[in-house]
Structure formats: structure tokens, C-alpha cells
Amino acid sequence: MPRIILHLDMNSYFASVEQQANPFFRNKPLGVCAYLSKNGCIIASSVEAKKVGIKTGCRVFEAKKLYPKVILVENNPDKYRTTTKKIFSILQGYTDEFEPYSIDEAFLNLTGWVKDFNQAQSLAEIVRSRIKNEVGDWLRCSIGISYTKFLAKLCSDLAETDQTKIFTNNDDLADLYQSLKLTDVWGIGKRLELRLNRLGIYTVTDLRNYSVVNLIQVFGQTGYWLWSRINGLEIDQLSLASEAKSIGHSYCLPKWTTDKQYLASVLMKLCEKVGKRLMEKRLQASTLNVYWSYLKGGGFGRSFKVFRHLKYGYDINRLAGQVLAENFLEDKVQMLAVSVSGLLPYFNQLSLFASAQDNSELNEALYSLRSRFGESIIYHGKMNGLSSQAVDRIGFRKVELEGY
């Protein structure tokens, strides 16, 4: 029996959910924004907005220039999470191997649940119909079906809106890749494209035919992954575990600036949010990642392991703030991000060194107060005036939903 993987990707998801909730938004260009100020970033565009040139990443002022009557709404994370839970509940009924990849994407291993690719295609239409009937008739999805996880994702990326694309034959890979750019491939961004170009790799076909040994010498394990996926070898298993591999928050600043005092305040709030999620999951982290991007392009990032495991927002901010303080800002900062990885179950082991003790009881008490009375009940003075900034947001990577 062939391995059969299905990848579902909701089309224009946040915008479609808003149009589902408000019929007056339907058939009109609509953008969902991180915030509504003129420099706010559009994080999702409706199908109609894309047709007039308003795409994800566009700024509010740019969208209004492109189409003055565009409808702009601020994102509503709870609304999208609730809708996603309903969709994922439908999907889970068709397999015992289900991976919620992001807020609007999921993988299903249908091997053994359907007898062939034709039956998988029929199942895809049933899933699409159930989503429309049971969740919302304005919601659309692209579905890809193939024999590897990578190719299933590629097929859904290539499928038209609300359509299904199937790829079943390894001998037809050349035809599949013929018109694709490197950046059309899942996992290849602009930076990796430039590195591949230096090796004389300019197309997906070039990458497929390139020496795997040379790729491994240049990229290490990543080189083998690239070559294997492009050549139709299955090396990716579905991630069925509910535990996150990393926890992080980022924020596109409404005020682009080099003012480190302001940036430090926002960074502290992001660190507190990361710490709160660590506490909720009863986890601790061994690696800290800090990044900011500049207005004119590029940015700065630092990732390092820590001597003591990070458990609280205060400890995360102490190290992240030090990174910000010690490094020169080359331009105005437009985005800040902080995350932790190397996650382990929480334990409160005492240190051998007295100077290394943390204020665990104080941090536990602060967490208890905020959980019961809200985030604004008590906070560090440095965050005063930031109540409307770095609020709840949804990312497009690993989704975090209760029960998944």
C-alpha cells in the first residue's frame, strides 16, 4: 500500500473568518491587520484584496493607496482559534496520525485509512464539504495529496483556491518542478536561495540533480534534507506530540525607532509573555533567541544556551535586555522577537551556588495574581504605558490550541 499524506491549507484564513462572521465584508477587499495605525502590517488579505494587489506584509497606508475603499480590521485571535478547533476536530476523524502544523494548516497520514489516491481525493472533497457545512460556507481550503509530507505540502501550495492537487508518480518530478522557482519550495527562503545560487543552483531541477555529497559538505544535515525531499524520499514524519519545541513572541512596532529605552520596555513585555506561557505549560528552557529587524532591511539575531534553565519572564528579560543593551543599532528597529527553546519539564532544583538562586516564590506569586486578575494587575514599571502594545497575536507557525 502506498504512503498517502494529505496537507490542508485554509485560503486567506483570517480574512475569510472575518468575512464568515460578517456577511457585509464578503466579496469586498479586506485586510486583517496587526494594528490599524498607518504603519500597521496586514497579516492576511481576502481573495478580493489580493486581486487589487493588497498582499500579506503590505502596510496600512500602502493598502489604502492601492484601494481606498479597502476594509481593514484588527485581528481577533480568539475568533481564529475557535474556528481552527472546529476544523481540526473534523480532520481528526479521518486518521490516527494528525499534525496541526499551524493555525491554518494540518497534515493527515491517510495510509491504511484509504485504499488509494483516488479514494484520498474523494475524502478531500468530503472534508472540504464538511468544513463549509459545519464551520462556515465562506471558508475555503487548498488540499495537496502525495506520497511524502514535503510533496503534499508543495501540492497544496500549487493548488488553486478551494481545489485539490495530487501527485503520485516519482517519475513525473521533472514535470512538477519545471516552472518552479527555488523560493516556491517549502523551506527555501531568500537567504538560502542566495547560498544555493553561489553553488550554481538556480532552479529546483538544478537542486534535484546536484550532488548530494556536495550539498552535505556545504549545508550539513540540511543539505541532505533538501536533496531527499526534492527527490521524493520521505524523511519527514508527522509531529504528533502536543509539546511545543519553542515558545516565542514577536511584535511589529508602531513606532520605528532606535530609542533603546522604548525598545527595552517592549522587549520586557515580550519576555513576560514568553515566561507566562512557560509557567502555563510547566516548562523550562535551555536556549534563548533574540532578534530584531531594521526598517531598511536586514536585522540582528543572537541565540545562545544558558547556564541555568529559564523559567520566568524576569530571567528571560535579564538576558535578552543585555543583548539589546550591548549591541549597536544600525537603523530604526521595526520588529522585535524573543523565543526560548530546548524545552524540558519544569523542576525547581536548587543551585549549588547561592548567587545563582532565583526568586521562584515571588515569580510563582506574580503568575498566580496575573492568572486570576489579569495581566494588568501587577507589572514592572518599565512596561507602564504599553497596555495597548504587544497584545495577543497569532503566528503562522506551530499552532497552540488547547487539546492539540
Residue 114 in 3-state DSSP?
strand
Q: Name the average pLDDT for the chain.
A: 85
Return the pLDDT at 40: 82
Quick check: is 375 catalytic?
no
pLDDT band, very low/low/confident/very high, at 230 (cuts 50, 70, 90):
very high
By the 8 A CB rule, do 388 and 266 touch? no
pLDDT band, very low/low/confident/very high, at 356 (cuts 50, 70, 90):
very low
Return the pLDDT at 382: 58
Return the pLDDT at 393: 55
**What whole-number distance in Å separates Cα of residue 390 and Cα of residue 383?**
11
| Residue 45 amino acid letter | S
**What whole-number distance in Å separates Cα of residue 166 and Cα of residue 147?**
9
DSSP 4: -
Point out the catalytic residue in the list 18, 99, 105, 272: 105
Closest residue by Cα to residue 329 from 364, 288, 296, 299? 299
Return the pLDDT at 2: 80
Cell numbers found for residue 285: 528552557
pTM of the predicted model as reported, rounded to 2 decimal places: 0.72
Closest residue by Cα to residue 107 from 91, 122, 125, 130? 91
**What whole-number distance in Å separates Cα of residue 294 and Cα of residue 274?**
23
By the 8 A CB rule, do 41 and 160 touch? no
Does 404 or 182 have the greater pLDDT score? 182
Cα atoms in the Cβ-side hemisphere of radius 13 Å centred on 210: 29
- The 3 state secondary structure assigned to 187-256 is CCCHHHHHHHHHCCCCCHHHHHHCCHHHHHHHHCHHHHHHHHHHCCCCCCCCCCCCCCCEEEEEEEEEEE
As a whole-number percent, the residues of the chain with pLDDT over 90 amount to 56
By the 8 A CB rule, do 117 and 166 touch? yes
In order of their start, the domains of the chain are: 1-168 (3.30.70.270), 172-240 (1.10.150.20), 246-383 (3.30.1490.100)
Count CB atoms within 10 A of the CB of residue 316: 28
Count CB atoms within 10 A of the CB of residue 141: 25
**What whole-number distance in Å separates Cα of residue 260 and Cα of residue 294?**
14
**What whole-number distance in Å separates Cα of residue 44 and Cα of residue 158?**
19
